[in-house]
Structure 1
Amino acid sequence: MRPRFLLAALAGALLSAAPAAAETRAVLVGVSHFSDPRLAAFALPGAARDVERMAGALATLGVDRAALTMLTGDGATLAAIRAALDRLAAASAAGDRAVIFLSGHGTQAPARTADLIEPDGKDELFLAADAGAWDPRSRTVPGALVDDEIGRRIGELRARGVDVWMVIDSCTGGGLLRGSGTPKAIPPARLGIPAGAPLRGAVDPSGFVDGGLAGGGRLVAFAAAGPGAIAWDDGDGGAFTTALARAIAPDRPASFAALAAGISGSPRRGGTIGAFWTAGDLSAPLLFDGRSPDMVDFARALPPLPFATTLAIDRAGACKADGGNRPRSDGGGDLTLLLHCDHVRVDMAEPPQPLRIEAWYRDAAGGYTSLAPPLGLVVAPGRWANVGFTFVTRDPGTGRELPKGEETLVLIARDTDGKAIGARLLRFRAA
């Protein structure tokens, strides 16, 4: 498996069909209150209801309730979550499916010095029931599950050939924003977390799954809010989980992409679920029940895009301290050689009509990752768009060398009726 992007997306995985005997297991966590009395005001009863809703949604998909580990209330401690994830990994084999669901409060804290996986200088934290105040000696929050650990666990599952669906309904940053309901975040200051020095212009779309970038199993990740953004609970549960469960039943979507589109249009109290965070092989059939389609073959059968694209490459990526700028113009679709940490950006010119653009990255192992939102990138007269990623030759989380081979960025344009009308393939290889 060779994921090539650290900032813009997570990697896809091998496209082999799951065996007939594949089993699905899940760990569902809802942190509804905290044992620390200083955090009593942040009780979130809806998180426990989120676990029940997710369990019901998985039952609709045919998952046996006996295969679910559900942790809520006092049972949702960090030790219990870790033990449940350990059991999940021990019981899972190649071809199996693992679902990890976390609902509760999230926050952010300063990352370790020179942590290249965190271009914004912040770790995302999911707060377990025994979370407490910041410990300045260890520079950690007791009872917090850190994004790096989540990513490592995902990576270990995928390295064994297990397909992983990660769902997170929490904020990844504290803040006071206007909105209906309760923000699912605890401001870092309430935990005594130091602010740290912000990194200007740095963006970290990898969220809670840092480091889970390589492996043989497919990965899809859904989150109610990206890093630093807000998720909401209306008192009866998370708005995102409610929309997710409604989008699954009664009609099972054909793919994760169809599910994501359904969530975007699902009603909730006070509005609709709009932008949320996704990553991974959204083209995969729901719950990985079958093979993912081959986007490269599909794109090859289409005419060229009805607008120009420009490819630019910059060596000053967030995961490399040395090296200067090295802009490069579009090579007309020929194979482009890239170095570790090269940042790749494709700018799209204004089209003659409104279009939605799908952007898929096919790695050397044949896995696909979506680089576009669930409903696609919108391009229209007077409105341009771009897509970017950072090319890596080794997994930033583990340092493991990634397989070599040709990789492809696939751009597919669809009209307002959803018909595919054009495509562009951009091919890359490690220098």
Structure 2
Amino acid sequence: MTSRLSRWLLGALLVAAALPVWSAQRALLVGVSELVNQPQALWLQAPRNDVALMREVLLKQGFAAPDITVLADGVEGAGLPDAQRIHEALGRLLERSRSGDFVLLYFSGHGTRLRDATKAYQEPDGLAENFLARDVRGQVGVDRALPGGVRDVEFDAWIGAFLARNVFVWSVFDTCSAASLTRSAKTVADAAQPADDQVRFRGIQVDRLVRGDAASAVAPSGAPPVNHVARARYVAFFASESHQVTPELRLPRKDRNGRPQGLLTWAVAEALQRKPATWRELYNGVLALYPPVIEELEARFPERELPSPVAEGNLDLPLFANSLQPLSTRPVWNAQRVGDKLTLAVGRLDGLDPRQPVRVLATLADGTVRVAPSELSEIALGSARLDVPPVLAGLAGATFWAVTPVDAPESVALRVRADKPLPAGMSLQWPTALRTVRDGDADVRWTDLGAGGHRLELLSPALGTTATMPDATLPDAAALRQRLQGLAQLKWLLQLNALAGDGQLDGFDALVEIRDGERLVRSAPAREAEAKLPPPAGAERASLAVRNTSGQSLDLVIVALDGRGATQAVFPEESSETNRFERGTPQAPAAKRFELPPLDGGARLLVLASPAAPWSVPRMFGLRGQEAEAALPEVRVRGLPQSLKERQVYAAMVRWPGEAPASR
């Protein structure tokens, strides 16, 4: 009997050892309602409710209660959200984290901004973000640290430390940085409010904080230093753009049982009920809940600029998982339904063609998705319209609508002259595509050399000449695909530049500068640089100085292609980063200088900018980094039907002549 039991136990242990070790899901939830060193007029009501709601949501998503750490005042069993305790909790969470884990870092409370010349990366508006912990004081140190505050560089370091351990990080910041207040000569005064329906705005001017006894403040220990880590396993939701405030108010609206909540937190919890499969679906659901609340607040607080949330990261990855395998490779754009029409805030600048076939996705309240075919009936540069498919016309008003293209646009497909089908696996990233032709107009000619590789000859003068981009012999299918991808993307960039034409974007300037070290040698507007600006010589380097005084945030893309067609992102530098460029005004410009790669040998630089649409994921113009898998969408905005309007758009293409790259 003992021998049989021993064999059974041994077998059970062997089976257990063979089973996969499931990755952990953990969360740190921080809510700061009371600023104990500050007047109670600056305190908030909702952060304690926010962390309670998020904890409830995470438990429903399968998180284990012991794996959810809560730091919040007014929450039973929670630790206090002092700055030192926040860093200690982050340190403990990092110590427990292992490769393959998933971590949520959630923060609800006040934010502020201040000038910080000590940062390695300077923000375009020169201001740095700080989250206000419970023990914040107003005395800013010589290192620009705010006692009781958690700096943006500290958050960045902690996120980098988790990523270095192969941990997937989802960050949620239901706070604002009050940049709109710091740029104003006066504080916005709000009208009197009913006691049972007060709205508070998160964000404090740093000079309104009481200094207190700064000498007694403890300097918290920060994140361990790590080298730069690519943010492939990263998604972040921000409640507002850098210059905006975000509200807390009783939610759901007109619900007697509603309680004060941060708008972003409540929207995340509500959107999760529709069972989204990806971060993009979750975020689009969040954005779709904003317009009715914002419309109400606009009427009550006409002097305030209300929030437009921002997301960044690899949004097409599966929810609450540590995976780099996207669930979709096509863009999905949220749509507004009015009557029998659907309107999109994307158009030809995003890769759509007239009469383009699309699929309409209708998501019901229980998460069920119904799909039907349609095609675009109207299209402009930045918008499009189509009919609601008859089979979906009877769906309830609470349905979320979205549209995805069936195939890449024909207008920008790279036409390859070939006598046989291309090798398998030649499909490209949206909106680029390949089309094989046997005769007629073609951009390139492909010849299969068998064991000798692949021959690619350039036929289209628009893409370059043999002097700048010589014909090439490529060793294998992978090299062929890379070269075709570069050429297809170049064709798309040329079309984008042509579509934008000579359009102007009031308050936006892009200047190409030639520098020798720190010394400015010469400069010219980007649109005139190719004709008027001699290229760098010797030790000189080129940079692009961007300046925004438009009074609006911008969607900005700066991308370079070398002579062989390989893409190098200049802004955003990584596919995980947002391309939303900060708002600037004539009195307080938002400006940034970007170092450029060499623009010789047929290389080109494209600059594209357009005013940011409210409640939208930043427009990427059909462009993205090497790791990204899908273009970013725009979101619907409720309202009456309107004619398709063009937003201002700026485009500049820079190319300097130079020696041709060596053939390979």
Q: Which band: TM-score by shorter chain?
A: 0.5 to 0.7
Task: Tell me the SS of whatever aligns to 1:225.
Answer: coil
Aligned partners of 1:381, 1:333: CA distance in 2, in Å? 37
CA separation of 1:134/1:212 partners in 2, compared to 1, >3 Å: closer, same or farther?
A: farther
Quote the residue 2:657 is aligned against.
none
Q: Please tell me the residue identity of whatever aligns with 1:239.
A: L
CA separation of 1:43/1:27 partners in 2, compared to 1, >3 Å: closer, same or farther?
A: same
CA separation of 1:337/1:89 partners in 2, compared to 1, >3 Å: closer, same or farther?
A: closer
- C-alpha deviation, 1:45, in angstroms: 2.1
Taking CA–CA contacts closer than 8 Å with sequence separation of 6 or more, which of the two structures ends up with the larger relative contact order? 1
Structure 2 gaps, min length 5? 1-19, 74-78, 182-186, 192-197, 212-225, 251-259, 297-305, 331-427, 436-490, 501-509, 531-559, 571-593, 597-604, 611-618, 638-642, 653-664
- C-alpha deviation, 1:306, in angstroms: 12
Quote the residue 1:90 is aligned against.
95
For residues 79-125 of structure 1, the C-alpha deviation after alignment (integer angstroms, 9 at most, x for no partner) is 11101111111111221111100000000011125743323211100
The one of 345, 368, 374 equivalent to 2:607 is 345
CA separation of 1:284/1:58 partners in 2, compared to 1, >3 Å: closer, same or farther?
A: same
Quote the residue 1:279 is aligned against.
312
Quote the residue 1:334 is aligned against.
565
Aligned partners of 1:184, 1:280: CA distance in 2, in Å? 24
The one of 162, 184, 207 equivalent to 1:189 is 207
Quote the residue 1:39 is aligned against.
39
- C-alpha deviation, 1:259, in angstroms: 0.9
Report the identity percentage. Answer: 25
Task: Tell me the SS of whatever aligns to 1:102.
Answer: strand
Quote the residue 2:175 is aligned against.
170
CA separation of 1:46/1:347 partners in 2, compared to 1, >3 Å: closer, same or farther?
A: closer
CA separation of 1:114/1:134 partners in 2, compared to 1, >3 Å: closer, same or farther?
A: same
Quote the residue 2:57 is aligned against.
57
Please say if residues 315 and 341 of structure 1, whose CA atoms lie closer than 8 Å, have aligned partners that are also in contact. Answer: no
Aligned partners of 1:213, 1:370: CA distance in 2, in Å? 25
Aligned-residue Cα RMSD (Å) equals 4.0
Quote the residue 1:221 is aligned against.
236
Q: Please tell me the residue identity of whatever aligns with 1:184.
A: R
Task: Tell me the SS of whatever aligns to 2:607.
Answer: strand
TM-score w.r.t. the length of structure 1 is 0.67
Quote the residue 1:308 is aligned against.
495
For residues 398-418 of structure 1, the C-alpha deviation after alignment (integer angstroms, 9 at most, x for no partner) is xxxxxxxxxxxxxxxxxxxxx
TM-score w.r.t. the length of structure 2 is 0.45
Please say if residues 172 and 228 of structure 1, whose CA atoms lie closer than 8 Å, have aligned partners that are also in contact. Answer: yes
Quote the residue 1:241 is aligned against.
265
Structure 2 counterparts to residues 10-409 of structure 1, below 5 A: 21-36=22-37, 38-73=38-73, 75-113=80-118, 115-173=120-178, 175=181, 176-177=187-188, 181-191=199-209, 214-215=229-230, 217-234=232-249, 236-249=260-273, 251-266=274-289, 269=293, 271=295, 275-288=308-321, 290=323, 291-292=325-326, 293-294=328-329, 296-297=428-429, 299-301=431-433, 308-310=495-497, 325=523, 327=526, 334-335=565-566, 341-342=595-596, 345-346=607-608, 359=622, 361-363=624-626, 366-367=627-628, 382-385=646-649
Aligned partners of 2:431, 2:67: CA distance in 1, in Å? 39
For residues 355-394 of structure 1, the C-alpha deviation after alignment (integer angstroms, 9 at most, x for no partner) is x87645233xx35696665669xx9663354699xxxxxx
Please say if residues 164 and 217 of structure 1, whose CA atoms lie closer than 8 Å, have aligned partners that are also in contact. Answer: no
Task: Tell me the SS of whatever aligns to 2:264.
Answer: helix
Task: Tell me the SS of whatever aligns to 1:310.
Answer: helix
CA separation of 1:387/1:106 partners in 2, compared to 1, >3 Å: closer, same or farther?
A: farther
Aligned partners of 1:274, 1:138: CA distance in 2, in Å? 30
Please say if residues 111 and 118 of structure 1, whose CA atoms lie closer than 8 Å, have aligned partners that are also in contact. Answer: no
- C-alpha deviation, 1:147, in angstroms: 0.1
For residues 322-359 of structure 1, the C-alpha deviation after alignment (integer angstroms, 9 at most, x for no partner) is 666574779799335688723852369xxxxxxx8764
CA separation of 1:103/1:322 partners in 2, compared to 1, >3 Å: closer, same or farther?
A: farther
Aligned partners of 1:22, 1:375: CA distance in 2, in Å? 36
Q: Please tell me the residue identity of whatever aligns with 1:90.
A: E
- C-alpha deviation, 1:244, in angstroms: 1.1
Structure 1 gaps, min length 5? 1-18, 194-210, 349-355, 389-431
- C-alpha deviation, 1:189, in angstroms: 1.9
Q: Please tell me the residue identity of whatever aligns with 2:496.
A: T
Task: Tell me the SS of whatever aligns to 1:275.
Answer: coil
Aligned partners of 1:102, 1:61: CA distance in 2, in Å? 19
